């Protein structure tokens, strides 16, 4: 039987999420670039024809595309080893998984594409993943052009760079205070939220030259956590008294509440605005959407952050992940629902449970589709 094959790249945000999970779960795998003839002729058709990273080929030859689906599969196979069993910690794990995938795009993309210091490293990795007979958009030059435009689309035009960088530096300070106290988000072992949140922090912000220098200068404990997430062992030799378990008693440290309050400053108004924008689009669709692939972006979300007007592309996938949190809430007992509501309120995210699309998103043949 062949080993698990991870098709991805060292610079890929979502590949980092899966790679870290595989390492911590002790899985045997090999990582290769998605450029081979086997990838083009065998893997890509099984992945719904969508060229995205990561994609995994399992031991039996079956294929899973998308980091969320990949970790779902292996977490179920692994008896949900990295999923907290208690209410508040499970909520926090789901929340950081969501934020890592959909709430850190602005600083991750800005610091990679706006600074020429990163260009040599990024060019090297793009050359490694350029497909055979690539069209212009997939060449190195074409990718650079698309990604610079994507910075504007994500809400980082030139006039908002100072705000985005200020928000990120303040986030680093909050995160550093937390990881000074505990090795992972929720104690002595990583949660699903750690894997999700570590994705942008390791593949972009902990790797590219400019943001990596910020970690060295402002957030050494965050950098240690990023390093820890790439090791098979617990990796907290500096914390001799730590247990390799989640915190007892469903504890959520105050430092983590402070981190989430800061994240809420832009994550909450953007989520509300994106929900409104996508729902307006959905309500105006005359054609049947059931079974059709969900586009990465639909329209724009206009919102305000600390008095600054911002506009960013509205991304449905945010609500695919948010629905998991909402489902967890709906299936909880009345007492646990009160705990969840109180916790979200403490994080300045009380309205998060209300932001739902009028049409659900599911998966079919390795693609996200409208239900």
310 vs 301: CA distance, rounded Å: 8
Q: Which residue has the tokens 């035009």?
A: 157
* Dist CA 48 CA 255 (whole Å): 42
Domain-ending residue, one of 52, 77, 102:
77
DSSP-derived 3-state class of residue 102:
helix
Yes or no: say if 236 and 54 are a contact pair by the CB < 8 Å rule: no
Asked whether residue 158 falls in the same domain as residue 209, the answer is: yes
In a domain, 82, yes or no: no
pLDDT at 116 over 90: no
Other Cβ atoms closer than 10 A to 364: 13
| pLDDT attached to residue 287 | 87
Last residue of a domain, one of 77, 108, 128: 77
Percentage of the chain lying above the pLDDT 90 cut? 81
- Residue 170 sits in the same domain as residue 49: no
Q: In this structure, what token pair is assigned to residue 294? A: 């969900």
Please tell me the distance from the alpha carbon of residue 316 to that of residue 274, in angstroms, as a whole number. Answer: 8
- Predicted TM-score (pTM) of the model is 0.94
Q: Tokens 């435009």 map to which residue?
A: 149
Domain that holds residue 333: 87-370
Specify if 24 maps to a domain.
yes
Q: How many CB atoms lie within 10 A of CB 305?
A: 18
Q: What is the largest CA-CA distance in the chain?
A: 61
For residues 262 and 347, state if they share a domain.
Answer: yes
pLDDT band at 357 (very low <50, low <70, confident <90, very high): very high
Q: What are the start-end ranges of the E strands in the chain?
A: 4-7, 29-32, 55-57, 63-65, 300-305, 308-313, 361-364, 367-370
The total domain count for the chain is: 2
Q: What is the pLDDT of residues 173-206, one digit of tens each?
A: 999 999 999 999 999 999 999 999 999 999 999 9
Tell me the pairing of strands 300-305 and 308-313.
antiparallel
Q: What is the mean pLDDT of the chain?
A: 93
Mean pLDDT confidence for 329-351: 98
Q: How far apart are CA 266 and CA 157, in angstroms?
A: 16
Last residue of a domain, one of 77, 106, 141: 77
22, 341 Cβ separation under 8 angstroms: no
* 47 shares a domain with 96: no
């Amino acid at each position: 039987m062949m080993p698990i094959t991870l098709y991805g790249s060292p610079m890929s945000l979502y590949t980092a999420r899966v790679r870290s999970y595989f390492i911590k779960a002790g899985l045997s795998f090999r990582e290769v670039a998605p450029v081979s003839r086997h990838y083009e002729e065998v893997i890509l058709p099984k992945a719904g024809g969508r060229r995205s990273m990561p994609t995994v080929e399992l031991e039996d030859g079956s294929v899973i595309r998308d980091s969320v689906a990949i970790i779902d599969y292996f977490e179920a196979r692994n008896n949900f080893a990295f999923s907290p069993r208690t209410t508040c910690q499970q909520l926090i794990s789901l929340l950081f998984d969501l934020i890592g995938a959909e709430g850190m795009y602005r600083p991750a993309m800005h610091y990679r594409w706006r600074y020429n210091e990163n260009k040599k490293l990024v060019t090297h990795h793009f050359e490694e993943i350029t497909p055979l007979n690539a069209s212009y958009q997939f060449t190195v030059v074409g990718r650079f052009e698309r990604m610079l435009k994507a910075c504007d689309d994500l809400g980082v035009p030139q006039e908002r760079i100072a705000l985005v960088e200020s928000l990120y530096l303040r986030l680093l300070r909050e995160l550093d205070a937390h990881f000074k106290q505990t090795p992972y988000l929720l104690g002595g072992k990583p949660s699903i939220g750690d894997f999700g949140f570590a994705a942008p922090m390791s593949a972009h912000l902990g790797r590219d030259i400019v943001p990596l220098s910020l970690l060295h200068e402002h957030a050494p404990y965050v950098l240690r956590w990023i390093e820890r997430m790439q090791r098979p062992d617990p990796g907290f030799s500096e914390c001799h008294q730590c247990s390799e378990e989640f915190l007892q008693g469903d504890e959520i440290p105050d430092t983590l509440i402070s981190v989430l309050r800061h994240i809420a400053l832009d994550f909450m108004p953007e989520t509300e605005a994106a929900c409104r924008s996508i729902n307006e689009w959905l309500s105006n669709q005359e054609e049947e959407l059931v079974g059709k692939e969900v586009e990465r972006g639909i329209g724009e979300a206009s919102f305000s952050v600390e008095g600054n007007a911002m506009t960013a592309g509205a991304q449905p996938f945010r609500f695919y992940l948010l629905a998991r949190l909402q489902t967890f809430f709906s299936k909880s007992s009345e007492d646990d629902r009160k705990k969840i509501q109180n916790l979200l309120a403490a994080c300045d995210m009380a309205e998060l449970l209300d932001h739902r699309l009028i049409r659900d998103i599911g998966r079919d043949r390795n693609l996200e589709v409208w239900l």
